[in-house]
């Protein structure tokens, strides 16, 4: 095996493994039917401005596939008296 073939195989293998982990994050739309069997993570940035921010929910559906969805997360302290 030549060096250039080894590099090509390594590049293809790495590219395939990275694409397996890359997921698109679907934006939540009101009324979507969500199939959430297990919540894996909720990633929400700290909110110091008092406005809504975009959070990402990572979950496993009933088929065992990992899904991601983004949604607006309101600031809870903005509406307190």
Report yes or no on 1 lying in a domain: no
Overall pTM > 0.85:
no
Domain presence at residue 13:
no
For position 28, which CATH number holds?
2.30.140
Pair type for strands 38-43 and 53-60: antiparallel
- Kindly report the number of other CB atoms within 10 A of residue 44's CB atom: 12
| Residue 64 domain-assigned (yes or no) | yes
DSSP line for 34-77: ---SEEEEEE-----SSS-EEEEEEEE-TTS-EEEEEEEE--GG
User: Is there a domain that residue 11 lies in?
Assistant: no
Enclosing domain of residue 34: 24-79
- Which pLDDT tens digit goes with each residue over 12-37? 555 444 444 557 899 999 999 999 99
**Is 3 within the bounds of a domain?**
no
């Amino acid at each position: 095996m030549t060096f250039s073939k080894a590099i090509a195989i390594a590049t293809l293998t790495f590219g395939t493994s990275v694409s397996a982990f890359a997921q698109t994050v679907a934006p939540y739309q009101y009324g979507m039917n969500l199939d959430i069997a297990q919540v894996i993570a909720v990633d929400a940035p700290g909110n110091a401005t008092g406005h809504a921010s975009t959070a990402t929910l990572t979950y496993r559906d009933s088929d065992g596939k990992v899904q991601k969805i983004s949604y607006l997360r309101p600031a809870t302290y903005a509406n307190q008296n």
